[in-house]
Structure 1
Amino acid sequence: MDIEGDFEDQSPPSFDRMKKVAQNVEAKGFNPGLIVLILVGGLLLLFLVGNYVLYMYAQKTVPPKKKKPISKKKMKRERLKQGISAPGE
């Protein structure tokens, strides 16, 4: 078997021809940077929308926070500021 005899009629591609082919190739598909940008932007948008939905759900379902009881000293001080005398004085 003569291996070299099989390819005698074909010539190896020259480097000049390959350079021309490489220059004429057009980029097909999406730019990888664009894919990453769309992915990150989509995840950020999903995160923000999800937080908003959870916030609206919490506003409807969670009971309001209980206020701390005001101490007697503070009530007395507030009444004195408003000009109302505390009872017993």
Structure 2
Amino acid sequence: MADDFHKVPPSFDLAGNASKGFNPALIVLLLVGGLLLVFLVGNYALYIYAQKTLPPRKKKPISKKKMKKERLKHGVSAPGE
């Protein structure tokens, strides 16, 4: 019984067994963190690739009615009036 007092707990044993394995929470954390990192890096790579390869978006055509209103705002008369 007196011998139990001088035993070193396994968590503080410097020469402890290395075959015990990793903490399961650490494995899950590394796995989730790694997957998140791969996802973010993959999305960034796809974004850069799309910026280089895709043509720029075409603007929507402006209706004649809207164009007439804009010209009247600027003081230019619409053609045919």
Alignment TM-score > 0.5, same fold:
yes
Partner of 1:44 in structure 2?
36
Q: TM-score under structure 2 normalisation?
A: 0.71
Matches within 5 A, 1:10-21: none
Query: How big is the shift at 1:85?
Result: 1.3
Partner of 2:59 in structure 1?
67
Structure 2: which 5+ residue stretches go unaligned? none
Q: TM-score under structure 1 normalisation?
A: 0.66
Give CA deviations for 1:29-52 in whole Å, capped at 9, x if unaligned: 421101110110010011000000
Count of residue pairs brought into register by the alignment? 69
- What is the alpha-carbon distance in structure 1 between the residues aligned to residue 29 and residue 76 of structure 2? 64
Give CA deviations for 1:44-66 in whole Å, capped at 9, x if unaligned: 01100000000000011011122
Moved over 4 A (4+): none
Query: How big is the shift at 1:83?
Result: 1.5
Q: Give the AA of the match of 1:72.
A: K
Larger Rg: 1
